[in-house]
Structure 1
Amino acid sequence: MSDLPTTRLAELGITLPAPAAPVASYVPTVEVAGMLYVSGQLPFREDGSLVTGRLGVDVDVEHGRQAAERCGVMLIAQIRAALGGDLGRVERIVKLGAFVASDPHFTEQPKVANGASELMVAVFGEAGRHARSAVGVPVLPLGAAVEVDAIVAIRPA
């Protein structure tokens, strides 16, 4: 099986960072019965800084969408690490869960979450189309603006 997602990442000009270490008592990924569960990932910029703030207060929709995309980049980095570097083992991105730190009156969480969703399609093609939830929350770990987790169907090694 070819590793087309790695080629697509290169075409998009995306270099995957080292996977982020957990910030509490959990593991980044768990593989069970052909499924890979990826813990929530935060929006680290290329320079390693964290995108913080709240949508509808001090972060606008476009910056929130970019933050969600950065969460998606970290999700892919975690997937690659869990699969021994072989993104070609991804059969399908099954579901993303997007958590958006936002003002109680902010209602555009789906537009923010599109940053991660559109990245999955750009990298994995049709296999990147997924179910999704996008939820507004009052606060996220470390003051992050967005957090995204994933469920991924994988092929055997």
Structure 2
Amino acid sequence: MTGTIDARLSELGLSLPDAPTPAANYVPFVRSGSLVFVSGQISQDANGLIRGKLGADTDVEGGQAAAKTCALSLIAQLRKACDGDLDRVVRVVKLTAFVNSTPDFTDQPKVVNGCSDLLVAVFGDAGKHARSAVSAASLPLGVAVEIEGIFEVA
């Protein structure tokens, strides 16, 4: 299905990965009324997992790139939750982001901007959201970033 959001993705030169499958006993998303809760999406691209610890072996720009891949996976899950029609997205409501970082690293918000900026670029004003960006001592499989989201859909 091709709509306005798919066209915007194309204009931005972005393609969505296949919606990642859960690695344990949970579902990738839950719809409750008009809200879709998407499970945490870890930083990965076509080359595999994007690992690293911000403040040690990965810089802010690398973290932003990792967060961008989380955004693409969130959108892929959202597409699946909306039966392929991303134009049903009314609003990005809230993101909760975890950044694998050293105790002295304090730029988690800058890292998570990689995800936030992409969502605003794709969904426009409907992409503006509330969020939390917190440090984590480690993340599953050593990934750099994990982000979950809440979305309103029609």
Please classify the TM superposition score into its range, dividing by the shorter chain length: over 0.9
Task: Look up the equivalent residue of 1:38 and give its one-letter code.
Answer: V
Shift >4 Å, 4+ stretches:
none
CA shift at 1:3, angstroms?
2.7
Which residue of structure 1 aligns with residue 53 of structure 2? 54
Q: Show the counterpart of 1:89.
A: 88
Deviations 1:26-84 (A, max 9, x none): 10000001000000001111x24110010001010000001000000000000001111
2:9 is equivalent to residue 9 of structure 1: yes
Unaligned 5+ segments in structure 1 are none
Unpaired runs of at least 5, structure 2: none
Q: Which residue of 2 aligns with 1:24?
A: 24
TM-score, normalization: structure 2?
Answer: 0.97
Q: Distance between the aligned counterparts of 1:151 and 1:69, measured in 2?
A: 17
Residues 48 and 83 of structure 1: CA distance in aligned 2, closer, same or farther (over 3 Å): farther
Residues in 1 aligned to 2:106 and 2:25: alpha-carbon distance in whole angstroms: 32
C-alpha distance in structure 1 between counterparts of 2:113 and 2:25, whole Å: 29
Change (3 A) 1:12 1:85: same
- What's the Cα RMSD here? 0.9
The correspondence of residues 82-121 of structure 1 with structure 2, limited to 5 A, is: 82-121=81-120
- d(CA) in 1 for partners of 2:70, 2:21: 14
Report the 3-state secondary structure (helix = DSSP H, G, I; strand = E; otherwise coil) of the residue aligned with 2:55: coil
Tell me how far apart the structure 2 counterparts of residues 68 and 33 of structure 1 sit (CA, whole Å).
28
1:5-35 deviation per Cα after TM superposition (whole angstroms, max 9, x unaligned): 1111000111111111111111000000100
1:129 matched to which residue of 2?
A: 128
Q: How many corresponding residue pairs?
A: 153
How far apart, CA to CA, are the structure 1 residues paired with 2:7 and 2:135? Answer: 34
Residue deviations 1:136-155 (CA, integer Å, cap 9, x gap): 00011111100000000010
